[in-house]
Amino acid sequence: MGHGHGHGHALPSSASGRLVGRLWAAFGLAAAIMVVEFAVGVATRSLALISDAAHMLTDVVGVGLALAAIVVARRAGSKPGRTFGLYRAEVLAALANAVLLFGVAGYVVFEAVGRFSAPPAVPGLPVLLAALAGLVANVVSFLLLREGAKESINVRGAYLEVLADLVGSVGVLLSAAATLLFGWRWADPLVGVAIGLWVLPRTWSLARRALRILFQHAPERVDVAELTARLGLVPGVAGVHDLHLWTLTSGMEVASAHLIVADGTDQGDVLIAARELFEREYGIEHATLQVECARSASRCHELSW
């Protein structure tokens, strides 16, 4: 029997250090603006600002998860008993974030519907200033994360969160301007509902991805039946069984499989070819493969799960 596996590629320490510095800057900036928007939103009863602050929370958590992934990756091997490190902490945090966002977005939409009939007066100037600060913070965070988004899939997720939040900040600015210039009281709850409805589908997508990882489903982009068939076509492979695919955390996909080969087949060649198939065509760099001759495979117990 033989075993083979591939390894991911870590960022150089210097690049990783710069990236962590930029992530901390973006994290602190987003957290500060989020607190300001929540405080001003509650004080002015602006649903649009509260809704944008909730959206800003996705930036805080997104950047925080990217930071956690890098820190955890550095410490993954520090405890012998943690053979998979602490990568799932990122997924649990994402699920908790999704649950919180569902609650906040649901509250904003519910409250806004009740306000349409008699919208309260919302002072436009404080809301405008807070939204402007949020917009500036998003632009700065966008510039901080743009380079790192090319190097790390986790950072790219945070980068896209910041990019999407720009839409919310612009919406709040428009509602505040409409309130100041024309006295349109319904502009604030309308934008609040729009941002809430913008957040909900993305929140559902985040929760769904987290649950798929926790339930150890195969990555959605991989057709398991097709992959099994492709492995069966590798020269020297007579059969494939006990194939498992799962995601450890975002951007870290893992596979294992048993490959049956005919007597006299060079197991090393089979391992190399199968590993290249996983890496080049499916982007899975960590695959543990067990090669078995037909005689030993007949005694190999394939688990029902």
DSSP 224-275: HHHHHHHHHTSTTEEEEEEEEEEEEETTEEEEEEEEEE-TT--HHHHHHHHH
Q: What is the 3-state secondary structure (H, E, C) of 8-63?
A: CCCCCHHHHHHHHHHHHHHHHHHHHHHHHHHHHHHHHCCHHHHHHHHHHHHHHHHH
pLDDT of the residue at 12: 44
Q: Does domain 224-297 have CATH number 3.40.710.10?
A: no
Tens digit of each residue's pLDDT, the chain (305 residues):
545 554 444 444 445 677 788 888 889 998 999 999 899 989 988 888 888 888 788 778 778 877 776 776 666 555 667 777 777 777 877 787 778 778 877 877 787 777 777 777 778 788 888 888 888 988 898 888 887 766 655 566 677 677 777 777 888 888 888 888 888 887 878 887 887 787 788 778 878 888 999 999 999 999 999 999 999 999 999 999 999 999 987 778 999 999 999 888 899 999 999 999 999 999 999 999 999 887 776 666 655 66
The CA-based angle 256-286-161, given to 5 degrees, is 115
Q: Which of 49, 221, 174, 187 is nearest to 115 (CA)?
A: 187
Domain pair 8-214 / 224-297, same fold? no
- CA dist., res. 112 & res. 95, Å (int): 26
Q: How far apart are CA 296 and CA 303, in angstroms?
A: 16
- At 297 the pLDDT is 64
Q: What is the pLDDT of residue 289?
A: 95
146 phi-psi bin (left φ>0, alpha ψ -120 to 50, beta other)? alpha
Indicate the CATH number of 8-214 among 1.20.1070, 1.20.1510, 3.30.160, 1.10.10.
1.20.1510
- Where are the domains positioned within the chain? 8-214, 224-297
